[in-house]
Amino acid sequence: MEKGPKSLKWAGARHKKKVIDEPRRWNIKRGDKVVVVGNAHHCKGQTGIVQHVLRKKMRIIVEGVNVGTRMLYDKADPDRIKAPVQAPRSIHYSNVNIVCPITNLPTRVGYRELPDKTWARVALRSGAIIDPPKWDRKTKRQVLVGTKDTDEDAVLEVTYDANTDLRLWETSWDKATRGRLLTNLYDFKNS
C-alpha cells in the first residue's frame, strides 16, 4: 500500500453533494388527493390530501400520512414549552401518485391541450381531466389598511420629473463629472 497523504481516507478530496434538478413541472399540487405507492415506504397504500408542497426539497406533506411524534410548541401555552405532538412528516414526491377521479386508483399525470387552447392535467390511466384543486386558506389574508400603507389614490401618482432632476444635477456636481454625466444623459434622451 502506498504511503502518503493520498492513501489516507481523511486526507482525500472532499466530495461535493450531487445537485438534483427540480422537476420542470410539478404535477402534484396542494389540495390534490394522493396515494403512497413507494415500495420501500412504510405508509404504502395510504391516501390523503396534500397540505404543503416543498418544492426546493422535492417533498410534500400529506394529511394523515407518515404521522410521527414531533416536539412542537403549544400555541395556547404562554410559557412556550415544547410538548410531543402527532404531526405529519414529509414524503418525497416520487413516492406518491395522484388518485384518478374516475377509477380511484393511483395514476400518472399528463398534460393535454383542450379544444379551447388551454392545457389541463389528465389522468393517464383513464384519460379523465383532473380538475385544479380548490384550496381554502387556513388563515385569511389581512386586508386592513395599516399606518404604513400607501393610500390607493397616491399609488399611481407620478412623482418623478426628469427635468427637475436634470437641473439639480447641473447645479450640484463639479464640472468634470457633470460634463460626463450630462453627455450620457443627453445621448440617452435623444436616442
Query: Could you tell me what percent of the chain has a pLDDT over 70?
Result: 73
Average pLDDT over residues 101-107: 93
| Max mean pLDDT range (106-120, 132-146, 154-168) | 106-120
Q: How would residue 150 be classed by pLDDT, with cut points 50, 70 and 90? A: confident
pTM > 0.85: yes or no: no
Structural domains present in the chain: 22-108 (2.30.30.30), 142-191 (no CATH)
- How far is residue 4 CA from its own chain's centroid? 47
Query: Of the ranges 42-56, 134-148, 176-190, which one carries the lowest mean pLDDT score?
Result: 176-190
CA distance linking residue 95 with residue 64, whole number of Å: 15
Give tens-digit pLDDT for 169-190: 666 666 666 666 667 666 666 6
Query: Could you tell me what percent of the chain has a pLDDT over 90?
Result: 31
Average pLDDT of the chain to the nearest whole number: 80
C-alpha cell at 16: 461535493
Give tens-digit pLDDT for 113-127: 999 999 999 999 999
Q: Are 100 and 125 in contact (CB under 8 A)?
A: yes
60 has a pLDDT exceeding 90: yes
15 has a pLDDT exceeding 80: no
Letter for the amino acid at 40? A
- Which comes out higher in pLDDT, residue 7 or 99? 99
- Which comes out higher in pLDDT, residue 57 or 189? 57
